[in-house]
Structures are given as C-alpha cells and as structure tokens.
C-alpha cells in the first residue's frame, strides 16, 4: 500500500450548536512586493494542505513592508436612498420583465435555511443553498419595492460558524431597511437559534423541538477496532496539536488536542452566550443559567422571551397577510428563494459601477486535476483555478481580487501550484483572501499567499502540521492466509509498497525524516508568507487549529469580518473610494456538467437519496490522493439512517490512506 503524507486539519466539531460572531478588525502592515522565487517542487503527495517552503536564504516574495493605513470595516450592506432617475428606471425594468421573472407588489420573500450551504454560486440544476445567493437576496429584498418583508424558515443546518455569522449579519442589516423579517423554527439547536434570534420576530409551532443544551465536540477512535482485525496503522504525526490520524492511530485524545479543542469550544460557546444575551437584553450569566436548567418545553421558551409566540406555519402566514394588506382569500403572496435568486441587482438599480473587482471562489477539497465525470462544484481543481487566476492576472480591467476560500485542504502539489499563482497575482494587483467556514491546512496555504487575510470570528484556520501514515497488514494477512511477495531493487524501494511486514529501523527513520521535512517546509513557507521568523511561526504552527479571532491576535489573519469586509479592504488597496460602487465579476461561476444535471434531475424527479448523490460526487471527483478534514464525515452522518452511516464509515476507513 502506497505511503501517503497527510496535512490535515483538526476535527470539525459535530454539533447542532451555534456561535455568536461579532466583527472586529485587527490590522497588520501591508506586505511589500519583491521578486518571486522560482516554483518549489513538492516531492511528497499530501492531503489537506501542501508542503514546500522557500529555501534558507531565498528571498521572500512578499516581506514586511511599510506601514499602511488601518484596514476599513464594513457592514454586510447599507440601504441607501435611490435617486429619482434610478427609481424611474427600476419601474420601467419591472414593467418589461418577462412573466417568469415578475414579482407581484406586496410579496413576501420566503427562504428555507436548512441543510448544507455552499459557498459557491449554484446553477439551476444544482440542489442545495448558496451562501452568496442567500446574502444577495437579503440585499435585493431590502431595495425591492415589490417585497414587503422576509419570512425565514430555519431548520437544522450543516454549515459551519462562518457561514452562520455571514447570514446573521445580513439579517441584522436587512432590518435597517424598515421591512419586517419574521423567523419560523420548528426544529433547531444553538446554531439555528443563533440565526433565528436576529429576526425581529420568531415563531415556533406548539410541538416544536428546540434543544438548547450546550455545545459538544466529539472524536472517535478506531485503533482498537483495527487491532482486532489485524491492521496496524503506522502513524508519524508532526505537530503537537495535529489530530489528523488520531482516529486511526490512537484510542483517546491527546492532552494537546484536548487543549486545542477546548479553546475552540470556549470561543464558540462564549460568543454564542454573548450574542444571545445582547439580543435579549439580559446578562450573560442569566442566559447560561437558562441553558443549564435543561429546558425542553417550547412553552418555557415563549415565557422567557426566547421566541415571540407559538403558532403554526399557516397561522403565521395568515398574520403576514394582514400585515401586508392582502385581503383576498388566496394564500399569502410569496416569492421563493429559487425564483428570487434569478432577479438581477441591476433590475433594482443597485448594480455595480465602472470599476471591476474579480471574485475567485475556492470551495471543497483540493485536487490537482479533474476527472472526466467530476461535478463542477465538487471541490477545488487546481488546474482550472490556475487558469482563472492567470486570466485575471493578465487582464488590466480588474482593479483588485477577492479570493474566497472555504476548504480544509487537499493535494500538496496542487496547493503549492496555486500558492505560486496567487503570489504572482498579488504582485500585479491587490488580492484579499476571505475565509468562510474553514480555511485550514491546504485552505490556509492558499490564503497565506494573499497580502491580506480576512476571516470570520469563528472560521477554522491554521493547522500548520503534518501526519504521515501507512497500514501494516501482516496480522490480517496471516489470519486470512493471504500471501504477498515483493521483488525490489534499491534500499528503500519497499518503503511504500510493503504492507505485509513492519518497517525496518532504517525505513522507519526515513519515514519520520520525510514527515519532519514536510512539516518544516510548510511551517517555513507560512512564516515567510506572514512575515514572521520561523521561531515565531513555530509557536502558532504545530498542527494547531485556531478560530479566526485567535488567529487574528497571532498574526495569521489580518482582519475579522465577512465578504463585505474583504470588499472594503479591496477598495482601499485599489484606491477606490468606499462610497463608490464597483462591479463584482464572478470568475468561478459554475457551469453545469452532465453528472450535475443528472444529479439535479434525479433529486427533483426521482427523489434520489442524498447519500447516493454524495457518493456519486465523491467517486466522480477522485483523482489521486483524496481526503477531508477529520470529522466532516460525522457532520454528514448526523441525520442519516443507520445503514447509511455504516456504509459511509466503512468507505471513509477504506479510503483514509488512499
């Protein structure tokens, strides 16, 4: 079995809980530009990040430079008064709009926030929700004279804290338009309540299941199971906090991982308590006491002011009919998320101005090339992203670039090649990296190529560390009477091939040295990219995953906020006035592939099970070494039947080391 070097992020906490994420910024000196070094070769294959760093004495592409003005801060969006000319143009555009794009006056925008939320734009054949489209719908609805308000259905979410904060920020800013935003939550926990509490009113049915019990982080360990079947994992974990590989190599959490996860837990829970207490006008201690009392009756939530009232969905819609002045016997006039996503901002008079800013989105696991059946939205395909980066770099029409990252990492070579291209891009125009839920290991590798990094307060980032491993199957082979012989030439030729015997001492030494070298390369390149000494970076590396706010205080991130914050900084660096409109050009806009079209048809007409669609996406995107951040498996398993959980668990184990 081939050896594989893994640069993984720490476990993604499995929970239905949420976090309060407020925005603050911390600025660092801008990185000056120098000559770029030649591309670095990465001699190992890795997952969830890339290796390779500048050699000793090699000049850094971007070193610390002169101090710059403080980084600006920005809300999600600001509703401004449109001029009479613009208002007239909007009315004319609405009159000539085709029937399938028309929205009746007095309509209520309805959106159901449930399940997975992608950071990519979706095509009409795609299933699921898109964060940029959700956020844009809030902004459009704030300006749209046909929309009286928003009715949000909030149900169990599979997104992380970064996306939750971005959506919550848009809910808060939408309320400033003077229009209503009403929430309805039949099922939910802390994460769902975190969003719902931002609504002006929140309703739940009398039979609602709202569990506000606290936050947990879970890890599972398979070392004992593997030993029983005769499989011995050979793990070299470089970085005291690197938890990748622990699922296979350990039977319990290490003290360092407990420390790291405990700090993340404190960040999330503390921020959630802060936001909920601020929203309700109560002390933090009162909110914590209420949670610790173990409330399970939805009536108690109403009594204590956590929700507005107990009403069924039809009752809420009847109430909204009266609010918008709809007196007929028909159902509430609504426009849903899907249809409203097709309304263009330019139709409402809020399109961009003359200056163009490119938006490059990078979501999912990183691979170098794309297989013939890959779904376009299945991950980051380096060769495709590099083409887009070069197109933007070679064009003079783009004044700046926002690199939006939502990735736990991936192939080492792919990450390094993209790092190189992003550095070249940053040498020609301002590049701002904007992190979503996670930008760790390979995701952070991409981000650190940009001179400025923006993260949400609870983005998972960092994870600068490696783990290398292979399976020794000697005992398993003996049990099933399986025999394997290898002919080889070269002292270490069998290092990657021989799984029927333990490593020799000299092989084990080389095995460890290879991992140590990869860690040093990753750490050194991170130090160079963030203008730190190696000793400074060593304090923040060691495989540790940081929250965005902790990363900012340590210089791994420059500013806290969402996409709008990154846009404000991009304007500043491009010398564009903050009050001047710009046009955002989506470079990574998806085009539907045949598997995606078939998957969309199957999901809408045949009711294909989400697990089958997930496996289709996994299988069609495989090309070389693949893996995900530890724990994403269990995030996906939460709402699946037992047999599907077992299927995915077996699939994860068999694919873990390639």
Q: Angle at which helices 594-601 and 610-620 pack, to 10 degrees?
A: 170
* Residue-averaged pLDDT of the chain: 78
Q: Angle at which helices 382-393 and 412-426 pack, to 10 degrees?
A: 10
- How does residue 501 score in pLDDT terms, banded at 50, 70 and 90? confident
Per residue in 565-579, pLDDT (tens digit) is 999 999 999 999 998
Q: What distance in Å separates the CA atoms of residue 21 and residue 18, rounded to the nearest whole number?
A: 9
Note the pLDDT of residue 79: 83
Mean pLDDT of 632-657: 41
Note the pLDDT of residue 306: 95
pLDDT reading at 167 higher than 50: yes
- How does residue 467 score in pLDDT terms, banded at 50, 70 and 90? low
Residue 191: its H or E element: helix 190-196
Note the pLDDT of residue 237: 66
Which structure tokens are listed for 482? 């399986």
pTM of the prediction? 0.80
Mean pLDDT of 461-465: 87
Give the residue with greater pLDDT, 313 vs 222.
313
Note the pLDDT of residue 101: 76
| C-beta of residue 340 within 8 angstroms of C-beta of residue 137 | yes
Mean pLDDT of 127-151: 93
Q: What distance in Å separates the CA atoms of residue 420 and residue 427, rounded to the nearest whole number?
A: 11
| C-beta of residue 350 within 8 angstroms of C-beta of residue 143 | yes
- How does residue 446 score in pLDDT terms, banded at 50, 70 and 90? very high
Q: What distance in Å separates the CA atoms of residue 555 and residue 570, rounded to the nearest whole number?
A: 19
SS3 state of residue 655: helix
Nearest CA to 529 out of 459, 455, 437, 464 is that of: 464
- How does residue 591 score in pLDDT terms, banded at 50, 70 and 90? low
Note the pLDDT of residue 542: 87
Q: What distance in Å separates the CA atoms of residue 212 and residue 187, rounded to the nearest whole number?
A: 11
Q: What distance in Å separates the CA atoms of residue 427 and residue 419, rounded to the nearest whole number?
A: 12
Mean pLDDT of 136-160: 95
Helices within 281-326 (DSSP H only) = 284-292, 298-303, 313-324
Q: What distance in Å separates the CA atoms of residue 211 and residue 16, rounded to the nearest whole number?
A: 9
- How does residue 326 score in pLDDT terms, banded at 50, 70 and 90? very high
| CA end-to-end span of the chain | 8
Per residue in 368-421, pLDDT (tens digit) is 887 654 544 568 999 999 999 999 999 999 999 999 999 988 777 788 899 999
Give the residue with greater pLDDT, 146 vs 224.
146
pLDDT reading at 219 higher than 50: yes
The torsion defined by the Cα of 495, 496, 497 and 498, in degrees rounded to 10, comes to: 50
Token match 């799984």: residue? 499
Q: What distance in Å separates the CA atoms of residue 566 and residue 573, rounded to the nearest whole number?
A: 11
Catalytic residue numbers read 242, 441
Lowest average pLDDT, out of 274-283, 537-546, 584-593, 643-652, goes to 643-652
- How does residue 124 score in pLDDT terms, banded at 50, 70 and 90? low
Q: What is the largest CA-CA distance in the chain?
A: 86
Give the list of residues 6+ apart from residue 154 with CB closer than 8 angstroms, or none.
113, 114, 183, 184, 185, 188, 192, 195, 196
Per residue in 20-52, pLDDT (tens digit) is 333 333 333 333 333 333 333 222 223 333 333
Per residue in 53-111, pLDDT (tens digit) is 333 333 344 433 334 678 998 888 888 878 888 788 888 888 777 777 788 999 999 99
Which structure tokens are listed for 413? 């070579």
Q: What distance in Å separates the CA atoms of residue 579 and residue 134, rounded to the nearest whole number?
A: 24
Kindly write down the DSSP assignment for every residue of 354-406, as one continuous string. Answer: SEEEEEEEEES-EESS--TT--TTSSEEHHHHHHHHHHHHT-SSEEEEEEEEE
Mean pLDDT of 211-232: 81
Nearest CA to 523 out of 612, 583, 640, 445 is that of: 445
Give the list of residues 6+ apart from residue 17 with CB closer than 8 angstroms, or none.
189, 190, 191, 214, 215, 216, 268, 269, 272
Per residue in 332-342, pLDDT (tens digit) is 999 999 999 98
Mean pLDDT of 146-166: 95
Give the residue with greater pLDDT, 39 vs 494.
494
């Amino acid at each position: 079995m081939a050896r594989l070097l893994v640069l993984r992020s720490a476990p993604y906490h499995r929970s239905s809980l949420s976090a309060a994420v407020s925005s603050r910024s911390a600025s660092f000196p801008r990185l000056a530009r120098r000559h770029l070094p030649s591309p670095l070769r990465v001699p190992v294959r890795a997952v969830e990040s890339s290796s390779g760093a500048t050699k000793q004495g090699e000049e850094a592409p971007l070193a610390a430079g002169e101090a710059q003005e403080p980084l600006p801060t920005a809300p999600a969006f600001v509703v401004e008064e449109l001029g009479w000319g613009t208002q007239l143009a909007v009315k004319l555009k609405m009159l000539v709009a085709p029937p399938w794009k028309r929205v009746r006056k007095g309509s209520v925008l309805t959106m159901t926030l449930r399940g997975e939320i992608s950071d990519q734009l979706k095509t009409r054949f795609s299933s699921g929700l898109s964060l940029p489209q959700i956020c844009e719908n809030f902004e459009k609805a704030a300006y749209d004279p046909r929309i009286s308000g928003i009715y949000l259905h909030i149900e169990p979410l599979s997104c992380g804290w970064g996306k939750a904060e971005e959506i919550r920020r848009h809910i808060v800013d939408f309320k400033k338009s003077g229009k209503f935003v009403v929430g309805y939550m039949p099922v939910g926990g802390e994460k769902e309540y975190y969003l719902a509490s931002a609504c002006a009113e929140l309703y739940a049915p009398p039979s609602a299941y709202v569990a506000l019990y606290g936050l947990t982080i879970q890890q599972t360990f398979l070392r004992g199971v593997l030993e029983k079947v005769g499989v011995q994992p050979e793990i070299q974990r470089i970085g005291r906090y690197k938890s990748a590989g622990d699922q296979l190599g350990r039977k319990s959490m290490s003290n360092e991982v407990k420390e790291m996860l405990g700090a993340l837990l404190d960040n999330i829970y503390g921020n959630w308590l802060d936001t909920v207490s601020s929203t309700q006008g109560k002390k933090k201690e009162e909110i914590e006491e209420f949670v610790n009392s173990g409330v399970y009756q939805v009536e108690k939530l109403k009594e204590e002011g956590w929700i507005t009232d107990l009403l069924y969905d039809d009752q809420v819609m009847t109430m909204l009919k009266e609010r918008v002045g709809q007196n007929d016997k028909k159902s509430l006039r609504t426009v849903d998320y899907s249809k409203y996503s097709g309304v263009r901002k330019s139709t409402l008079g809020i399109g961009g101005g003359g200056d163009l800013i490119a938006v490059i989105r990078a979501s999912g696991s990183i691979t170098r090339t794309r297989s013939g059946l890959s779904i376009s939205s299945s991950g980051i395909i380096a060769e495709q992203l590099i083409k887009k980066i070069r197109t933007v770099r070679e064009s003079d029409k783009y004044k700046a670039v926002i690199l939006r990252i939502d990735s736990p990492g991936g192939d080492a070579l792919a990450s390094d090649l993209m790092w190189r291209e992003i550095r070249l891009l940053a040498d020609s125009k301002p590049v701002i990296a904007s992190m979503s839920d996670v930008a760790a290991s390979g995701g952070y590798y991409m981000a650190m190529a940009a001179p400025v990094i923006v993260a949400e307060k609870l983005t998972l980032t960092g994870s600068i560390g490696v783990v290398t491993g292979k399976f020794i199957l000697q005992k398993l082979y003996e049990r099933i009477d399986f025999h394997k012989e290898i002919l080889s030439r070269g002292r270490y030729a069998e290092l990657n091939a021989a799984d029927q015997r333990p490593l020799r001492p000299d092989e084990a030494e080389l095995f460890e040295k290879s991992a140590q070298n990869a860690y040093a390369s990753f750490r050194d390149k991170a130090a160079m990219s963030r203008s730190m000494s190696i000793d400074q970076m060593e304090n923040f590396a060691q495989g540790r995953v940081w929250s965005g706010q902790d990363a900012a205080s340590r210089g791994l991130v420059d500013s806290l906020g969402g996409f709008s914050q990154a846009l404000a900084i991009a304007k500043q660096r491009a010398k564009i006035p903050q009050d001047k409109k710009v046009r955002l050009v989506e470079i990574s806009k998806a085009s539907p592939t045949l598997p995606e079209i078939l998957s969309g048809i199957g999901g809408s007409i045949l009711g294909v099970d989400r697990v089958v669609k997930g496996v289709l996406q996994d299988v069609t995107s495989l090309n070389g070494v693949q893996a995900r951040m530890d724990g994403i498996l269990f995030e996906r398993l939460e709402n699946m039947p037992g047999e599907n959980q077992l299927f995915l668990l077996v699939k994860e184990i068999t694919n873990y080391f390639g």
